[in-house]
Structure 1
Amino acid sequence: MFIQLEVGWMNHPFPMNSFRISSHEQIRVLRDLGLKSVRHIPAKSTALAQTPSEALERMADVQPEQDDVGEPAVERLGRSTTAQAGVRALYNATQQRCRQRYQEAATVYESVCAGVQAAPQKVREQAESLVRACVAQLLEQGPYAVHLLADSLGQRSAGHAVNVLVLALLLGRALRMEARELCLLGTAALLHDLGKVGLPIHIAEPGAALNLSDMQRYQEHVGLSVDLGQRMGLSSDVLIAIAQHHEMADGSGFPLRLVGEDLSRCGQILALVNRYDRLCNPLHGEQALTPHEALARIFALRRECFDATVLGAFIRMMGVYPPGSLVQLVDGRFGLVVVVDALHSLRPCVVLYEPAVPRDEAPLLDLAQNDEVGILRSLKPAQLPRDALDYLLPRPRISYFFERALSPRDCGGSA
């Protein structure tokens, strides 16, 4: 069913006001919005569109390893072995490049942390050189995609810094920032938690909830980061963004309880990206959320904490199912979202659970190239069968990097 929403685009999380309903999750989001009606456009609707009930009935008759006509997965995959081998090789090569660049960025951050007290000017040059390289790559390669990395790389603190760097730059680009602004944003994103180097490890990287006294010390890392940034000779724009990375648009943040109009654009971006990553990779003993859960919580419960334009751009960039989300397709199969293309964020690339093939050869399905299959719902790890969970191996820490978006001829259309 193709519909059009009769509300402003900032009042919903979908990339466009008109679109084809292809999943139960989209229905749930529409219901949560409290809309009394939507406009149905029959001319753009197709026979492939299904109501959630039809999709569930079809799924009830099919095992996850079979398609909708009952063909065994082994036979289906056998016919597409050559194509899948090419797609898998391309995906593995892209993963290797992303892993290498992620590891290089994590190494730079660890070097900055180790040397900032003794040689602040020197490590500033290291940080700024890394950011300039990332910005140049991001601006030169055209449409981009966000990739989930296969393994957690580097120390946890470095992983958070690199995740915030990557997502902040992608969001800045989506907001049409120019190269100079992106360099300022990227430097602030990489160094926003630098002040934690002066805190005890149980406060800087706690594995459990902090008491009031320790939480007050934890919050001091913002000022400490600004102090170190001043010693490094960072610009005032970078320092302001660092100072605001825990501020919220509704005044509920810290340390100054600023409100929306008091925040710089870079500060608004850092506040959102920092919060999203901490929901996926928590510090204080909270249970980690899947990327889909994190985005849904921000949109449903914390929307007023963030600038509306920035939040809308972030949702369109990451899609309803960001990389790292566990999903079930309308045909019953389980998968892990591994790539989201900014041009097709509601149709991500998914690694499928196919017990008939080895785990390291698991088929990849690009939903942007396959209109016949859609996502039925997102899942928590506990909702998957044990064998499917072991096969897909969702990451204990979510790590991202960006890469040029593949053209349709490069991608696997079906699996």
Structure 2
Amino acid sequence: MRLVKLPAMSLQPGMFIAELDRPWLETPFALQGFVVRDSNEILYVSRYVDHVYVDADYLGTRQHLSLCTEPTHRPPRERLELKADMQAAKVCFENAAAALDTVFDSLRAGRESDIQSVQEAINPLIKTIFRNQEATAALVRLKESGDYRFEHGVSMAVWAAILGRQIGLPADDLETLALGCALSDVGMTQLPQQLLHHTEALDDSQRRIVRAHPAMGSELLAESSRINFEVLAIVENHHERLDGSGYPRGVEGAAIPLLARIAGLVDTYDAMIKPRPWATARTSHDAVQELIDAKDVLFQGALVEQFIQAIGLFPTGTLVELNSGEVGIVTRQNQTRRLKPEVVVVLDRERERLDAVEILDLANQSPDQERWITRELLPGSFGVDSEEYFL
């Protein structure tokens, strides 16, 4: 796709708007990418943006573009740009995990906890998503694993905020959603310690105990401090499922609050892509495929689709193999061509490390030398540590 920058008032009916001069979430437009139908829509668009980027290859656009306009291709970004944003996000992530650790320790010891400190630590992390969503998402995917109990909650908060932003939730709801996700496993502080450190699959009696943690967490938070009832609903319902097969109450469909439905989806995704004592990590592609298989059964189909739109089929930070045999790391999404992101090629065809990495835009190649992604690889494949390229 060739992008052409135009003043909003220079739009013509039939043109396809692919990008704006500001984030879509900062506008009232319901769709991310749409065809302009008439002059009223042109006036409406121009009220909120100064310039737009239109698809030069879209039929209606091509018919109206004049010869004097120049296609605008995104220049390859230096990975240092992404690296700087990821390092900033890492500080926010670790602050949030530390705040959550402190609260969990207080609750485990029966002391009063400062829930507000978690909110204050989570909010800067949400801001990093607005500044550079891809960098924050890549950090969560690449970060060396610490204590799963705390980092999983913060990771959930990030994935949920990304999905919430994608569907247009207002800022207050994003903060509530992120806090609820961060605290979703707080009930685990009341479980026997041996269960928390269990390294094998649980038996039926152990599973029944663990499945009480959402209700226990909600009750614990309600007793320990004044807290938004929507946060309590997230904590209590994040393991409920659309078809009623979840726990602790087995509620289904619309009876599960929207924010809890989001929390349940991202909880499942993050658990699948992280290594556990009893299970190896899956690739994001495999995890997404499982979510697709569970559409309108365990998870609301529209939320699954929007989550995939938000993170990409091959998310930023994932390790991929190209049809050429080369290995690279996804560094940027292409919002209109999901299978063709920007990739930093780090290994050659013989899987030898390149002296100088190559930045390859899969959506902008000559047809006779086209490369594409054949599969996603697990982190660490062929000895590639993705973190060294970003963190």
Q: TM-score, normalising length from structure 2?
A: 0.69
1:358–1:330 Cα change, 3 Å: closer
Instruction: Note if contact 1:349-1:366 (Cα within 8 Å) is conserved in structure 2.
Output: yes
Shift of 1:221: 1.3
Identity %: 23
Superposed counterparts of 1:157-196, under 5 Å: 157-196=149-188
Instruction: Note if contact 1:169-1:186 (Cα within 8 Å) is conserved in structure 2.
Output: yes
- Name the residue aligned to 2:374: 377
- Name the residue aligned to 2:246: 253
- Name the residue aligned to 1:227: 219
Superposed counterparts of 1:176-325, under 5 Å: 176-230=168-222, 231-281=224-274, 283=276, 285-301=278-294, 303-325=296-318
Superposed counterparts of 1:39-50, under 5 Å: none
Superposed counterparts of 1:310-349, under 5 Å: 310-340=303-333, 345-349=338-342
Unaligned runs of 5+ in 1: 2-14, 18-40, 45-82, 383-387, 402-415
Corresponding residue to 1:132 among 118, 123, 144: 123
- Name the residue aligned to 1:109: 100
Q: Deviations over 1:193-212 (max 9, x none)?
A: 11112223442353220111
Q: TM-score, normalising length from structure 1?
A: 0.66
Corresponding residue to 1:94 among 82, 85, 92: 85
Matched residue of 1:328: which SS?
A: strand
* Structure having greater relative contact order (Cα 8 Å, sep ≥ 6): 1
Matched residue of 1:304: which SS?
A: coil
Residues in 2 aligned to 1:337 and 1:93: alpha-carbon distance in whole angstroms: 16
Residues in 2 aligned to 1:146 and 1:341: alpha-carbon distance in whole angstroms: 17
Shift of 1:338: 4.8
Q: Which moved more, 1:241-250 or 1:101-110?
A: 101-110
Residues in 1 aligned to 2:337 and 2:162: alpha-carbon distance in whole angstroms: 15
Shift of 1:128: 1.6
Matched residue of 2:78: which SS?
A: helix
Instruction: Note if contact 2:89-2:135 (Cα within 8 Å) is conserved in structure 1.
Output: no
Residues in 2 aligned to 1:359 and 1:123: alpha-carbon distance in whole angstroms: 49
Unaligned runs of 5+ in 2: 2-31, 35-56, 61-74
Matched residue of 1:297: which SS?
A: helix
Instruction: Note if contact 2:187-2:214 (Cα within 8 Å) is conserved in structure 1.
Output: yes
- Name the residue aligned to 1:393: 385
Residues in 1 aligned to 2:174 and 2:287: alpha-carbon distance in whole angstroms: 25
Shift of 1:239: 0.5
Q: Deviations over 1:95-138 (max 9, x none)?
A: 32222222222112112212235687652110121233334454
Q: Which moved more, 1:114-123 or 1:301-310?
A: 114-123
Residues in 1 aligned to 2:135 and 2:143: alpha-carbon distance in whole angstroms: 18
Residues in 2 aligned to 1:155 and 1:342: alpha-carbon distance in whole angstroms: 33
Q: Which moved more, 1:109-118 or 1:166-175?
A: 109-118
Q: Deviations over 1:153-174 (max 9, x none)?
A: 5322122111101000110111
Instruction: Note if contact 1:326-1:379 (Cα within 8 Å) is conserved in structure 2.
Output: yes
